[in-house]
Amino acid sequence: MTSPARMRPQHPATHRVTDLTATFSLVADTLDPALAVTGVTVSSGDVAPGDLFVAVPGLKVHGATYAPQAVAAGAVAVVTDTAGAALVRDAGLTVPVLLTDDPRAVSGPLAAHVHGHPGKDLVTVGVTGTNGKTTTTYFVDAALRAAHAVTAVLGTVELRVGDDAVESPRTTVEAPALQAILALARERGAGAVAMEVSSHALALGRVRGLTFDVVGFTNLQRDHLDFHGDMEGYFRDKARLFDPEQARRGVVVVDDEWGRRLASSAQIPVETVATHVDDPHAADADWAVVTADIGLDGVGSSFVLRGPDGTEHAAASPLPGLVNVSNAALAIVLAHAAGVDLAVAVDAVAHAHEIPGRMERVVERGDGWPLCLVDYAHTPDALVLALEAVRPITPGRLILVFGSDGDRDQGKRPIMGQIAARLADVLVVTDENPRSEDPATIRAAILEGVRAERPSGADVHEATSRAQAIRDALALATDQDTVIVTGKGHEPTQEIAGVFHRYNDRDVYLAARAERSHARAEQHA
């Protein structure tokens, strides 16, 4: 896989730096009017020759500290504030410095300008909300693919343009990287882009410089309060996407109080979707799920979506659980708002491919094997929904392997433990990205919640390695049981003591199955 930094147009336009300073009111000290700019970046590690290096005052360090590395890699000028300019000069660099009060805010619009506003040549759909961004984005992409020969999808799992994909460094890439990827998508003939927009991205202006054709909101639940402070702050950051600078129109799921608030306060035209059958708010919503059958085969659900004109559409979600009815309904309305024929969108979503790490069926039930699932649920609410979705498709016991991540919201740990003890039969408590924290401390906090709900401690296990936890769960399981591993989904690494290790839940299941098949073959030989 190539690095995300390489997701740039092969034939970038060239701009004279003096045009950029005039357009963006950047104040330059010394400037050669002939100086050419071909790209923008905020990270010294991503600089390509011809870039403007935008040095932002970070939460930890000023980006201008890395100006020497950026210049050595080919940056032709530094865009920064006065503190950054002083750092550049102190480092003895003679590179031109372009001054602005807010380098982070200018980085997106500047990159959009340098790349010729690629977002204007693409149909763009952005999805925000605590849970369901990835799933909804992939459902939207399925619908967009039915209408466009080439599409791009950007989010937590991958950055994909056409058939070319790289691992994604985060849910929403930095503003200049986003504009470069959009330019690459345009260069490769893409007609549409579906992307996840995280609340961090909105707070840090990563989508500034792009006005989406349509944006969607899934829900707001407790998460990331370490960054946003409280739920009000979290909501305010999410709501930034529903502003005329950022989007032309919106589609909002109004199942929760936050969605309803957003729909009534948004500064852009909004269509509403109610996805809970029998919800009293459904009557006022433009679109509503009026019946849902969560299909006990575990493959997906069928539902009926009522449109604004009262017409009912038979639809389906290819993933289990009511949350995916919600995601599918939102995706259909988003795709329709983005110009896809409604019947085409309904059909494409029903047949969307499996999404890595989202209720992913790694091994099917049978031949002595339990059904083995991987799911990304890593918040209390998501854990409830994931376990409730799996219960109906589990004839035997529900065996859960889970943890809670380090250096993040500590309050959720005992809550996760309590939920697990209430909704799963057998628990294996283990590590989930402890980052810089002691994994044993995190497990102890989870186990405190487990004990509050299940004082007997029956069927509660602890494993110090995640791979061992999965093997322990498999050793306990029969083919009537379901084993579900939550928390990391598709993620290809695990951070322990600040070091990233290659690790994937899926691979552990597959290795265990291969080992057992091998052992059986030897027995029969």
Ligand X SMILES: Nc1ncnc2c1ncn2[C@@H]1O[C@H](COP(=O)(O)OP(=O)(O)OP(=O)(O)O)[C@@H](O)[C@H]1O
Ligand Y SMILES: CC(=O)N[C@H]1[C@@H](OP(=O)(O)OP(=O)(O)OC[C@H]2O[C@@H](n3ccc(=O)[nH]c3=O)[C@H](O)[C@@H]2O)O[C@H](CO)[C@@H](O)[C@@H]1O[C@H](C)C(=O)N[C@@H](C)C(=O)N[C@H](CCC(=O)O)C(=O)O
Interface positions with ligand Y (CB under 6 A): 42-45, 56, 58-61, 63, 66, 170-172, 174, 198, 200-201, 204, 227
Q: Are 431 and 496 spatial neighbours (Cβ–Cβ below 8 Å)?
A: yes
Question: Please, which residue, 397 or 490, has the CB nearer to ligand Y?
Answer: 490
Say what angle helices 322-337 and 133-147 make with each other, to 10 degrees: 40
Choose from ligand Y, ligand X, none: what does 59 bind? Cβ within 5-8 Å by kind: ligand Y
Binds ligand X (CB under 6 A): choice among 287, 369, 376, 509: 376
CA pair distance 275, 293, nearest whole angstrom: 13
100 near ligand X, rule: CB under 6 A:
no
Instruction: Give the position of tokens 């460094």.
Output: 169
Residues of this chain, 146-185, that bind ligand X according to CB under 6 A:
156, 171
SS3 call for 10: coil
User: Could you tell me where the DSSP H helices lie in 76-189?
Assistant: 82-90, 103-114, 133-147, 175-187
In whole angstroms, the minimum distance from the beta carbon of 480 to ligand X comes to 23
Report residue 130 as tokens.
């605590």
Q: How many residues appear in the chain?
A: 525
Report residue 355 as tokens.
């999404």
Choose from ligand Y, ligand X, none: what does 482 bind? Cβ within 5-8 Å by kind: none
Choose from ligand Y, ligand X, none: what does 358 bind? Cβ within 5-8 Å by kind: ligand X
In whole angstroms, the minimum distance from the beta carbon of 112 to ligand X comes to 24
Closest CA to 416 of 408, 496, 362: 408
CA pair distance 74, 46, nearest whole angstrom: 10
Binds ligand X (CB under 6 A): choice among 8, 15, 117, 133: 133
Q: Which helix (H) or strand (E) holds 509?
A: helix 505-524
Instruction: Give the position of tokens 């291969």.
Output: 514
Helices (H) and strands (E) in the chain, counts: 17, 26
358 near ligand X, rule: CB under 6 A:
yes
Binds ligand X (CB under 6 A): choice among 75, 386, 474, 483: 386
In whole angstroms, the minimum distance from the beta carbon of 227 to ligand Y comes to 6
In whole angstroms, the minimum distance from the beta carbon of 386 to ligand X comes to 4
Choose from ligand X, ligand Y, none: what does 170 bind? Cβ within 5-8 Å by kind: ligand Y
Binds ligand X (CB under 6 A): choice among 132, 205, 209, 250: 132
Q: Is 134 annotated as a binding residue?
A: yes
Binds ligand X (CB under 6 A): choice among 107, 211, 219, 482: 219
Binds ligand X (CB under 6 A): choice among 218, 246, 418, 433: 218
Question: Please, which residue, 327 or 433, has the CB nearer to ligand X?
Answer: 327
Choose from ligand Y, ligand X, none: what does 128 bind? Cβ within 5-8 Å by kind: none
Report residue 484 as tokens.
């579900």
Question: Please, which residue, 42 or 428, has the CB nearer to ligand Y?
Answer: 42
| Cα pseudo-dihedral 205, 209, 211, 216, rounded to 10 | -20
41 near ligand X, rule: CB under 6 A:
no
Instruction: Give the position of tokens 């707001």.
Output: 220
Question: Please, which residue, 45 or 395, has the CB nearer to ligand Y?
Answer: 45
Report residue 189 as tokens.
């003939």
Report residue 487 as tokens.
């928390």
Q: Is 132 annotated as a binding residue?
A: yes
Report residue 281 as tokens.
């708010």
Phi, psi of 176 (to 5 degrees): -65, -35
385 near ligand X, rule: CB under 6 A:
yes
Q: Is 198 annotated as a binding residue?
A: yes
Q: Is 130 annotated as a binding residue?
A: yes
Question: Please, which residue, 81 or 381, has the CB nearer to ligand X?
Answer: 381
Stretch binding ligand X (CB under 6 A), from 82-90, 110-118, 129-137, 299-307:
129-137
482 near ligand X, rule: CB under 6 A:
no
Q: Are 131 and 221 spatial neighbours (Cβ–Cβ below 8 Å)?
A: yes
CA pair distance 188, 208, nearest whole angstrom: 23
Q: Is 199 annotated as a binding residue?
A: no
CA pair distance 67, 76, nearest whole angstrom: 11
Question: Please, which residue, 66 or 287, has the CB nearer to ligand X?
Answer: 287
CA pair distance 402, 488, nearest whole angstrom: 9
- Known binding-site residue numbers for ATP: 129-135
Q: Residue numbers of the site for ligand X (CB under 6 A)?
A: 131-135, 156, 171, 196, 218-219, 323, 326-327, 358, 375-377, 382, 385-386
